């Protein structure tokens, strides 16, 4: 089963009197348990596509389905619900709340999904254990290394069991060795949990953990489509 399906996705931005076509008919899918790397130069359209796949940005045209459900791209409430229920995000800047501990950062994500009882704390702790941070649960972000912060971000993305994980340059702020560890963890968790994972990246090392590589250039997929 595909957890992400896009068909002929287009996106045009209006800049003054000029229309700029950023995406020009992209079709790409991600299956459960599959790791897809999406490569492309800056300005190629990959981050725009990731934002559309994550129900953050509305396309100008095309079809999007998340976990088998076709999205009504004009329905903001439906898109927000899909983001909370079915998609986990990991970013290069970690995006952790500095005043919250590692556990509280993960628990807050569950609170936003409507989980506000003791089970949210238990799951937050379990997710941190899974990413190797059992002894760092009560640490603030300022007391964690870059790799540890990204592990918290991964735990947060996994919390609540979303079937699709989208990662935007997750190794960009990490050194080479730590980046390789994070990528290995990503693949292990995606395979073990049977989740779909798409990584937007400039990092050639992502190829080593990907099942499929798609290359985007000038708003079109050149390889790995399907």
Please state the pTM of the whole predicted model. Answer: 0.92
* Residue 226 in this model has a pLDDT that exceeds 60: no
How many structural domains compose the chain?
Answer: 1
- Does residue 224 register a pLDDT over 70? no
* Token pair of 190 as six digits: 């995606």
pLDDT at 203: 84
Task: Tell me the C-alpha distance between 106 and 111, whole Å.
Answer: 9
Give me the pLDDT at residue 166, please.
96
Predicted confidence (pLDDT) per residue in 149-200, tens digit: 999 999 999 999 999 999 999 988 888 899 899 999 989 999 999 999 999 9
Whether the Cβ atoms of residue 131 and residue 106 lie closer than 8 Å to each other = no
Q: How far apart are CA 173 and CA 212, in angstroms?
A: 24
The CATH number linked to 167 is: 3.40.50.300
pLDDT for position 1: 85
The range of the structural domain enclosing residue 70 comes to: 2-223
Token pair listed for 117: 């009882």
Distance, in Å, from the CA atom of 210 to the CA atom of 151, rounded to the nearest integer, reads 19
- In this structure, the chain runs to a length of 226
- Angle of helix 146-158 versus helix 102-112 axis, rounded to 10: 30
């Amino acid at each position: 089963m595909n957890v992400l399906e896009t068909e002929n996705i287009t996106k045009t931005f209006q800049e003054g009197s000029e229309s700029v076509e950023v995406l020009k008919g992209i079709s790409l899918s991600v299956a459960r348990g599959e790791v897809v790397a999406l490569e492309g130069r800056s300005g190629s359209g990959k981050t725009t596509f990731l934002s559309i796949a994550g129900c953050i940005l509305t396309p100008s045209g095309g079809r999007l389905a998340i976990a088998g459900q076709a999205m009504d791209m004009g329905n903001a409430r439906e898109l927000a619900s899909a983001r909370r229920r079915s998609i986990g995000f990991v970013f290069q800047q970690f995006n952790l709340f500095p005043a919250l501990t590692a556990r509280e950062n993960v628990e807050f994500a569950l609170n936003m999904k409507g989980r506000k009882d003791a089970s949210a704390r238990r799951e937050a702790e379990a997710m941190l254990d899974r990413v190797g941070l059992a002894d760092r649960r009560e640490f603030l972000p300022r007391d964690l290394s870059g790799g540890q912060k990204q592990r918290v971000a991964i735990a947060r993305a996994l919390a609540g069991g979303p079937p699709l994980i989208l990662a935007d340059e997750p190794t960009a702020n990490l050194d080479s060795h730590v980046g390789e560890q994070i990528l290995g963890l990503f693949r292990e968790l995606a395979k073990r949990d049977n989740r779909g994972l798409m990584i937007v990246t400039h990092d050639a090392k992502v190829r080593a953990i990907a099942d499929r590589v798609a290359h985007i250039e000038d708003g079109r997929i050149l390889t790995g489509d399907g």
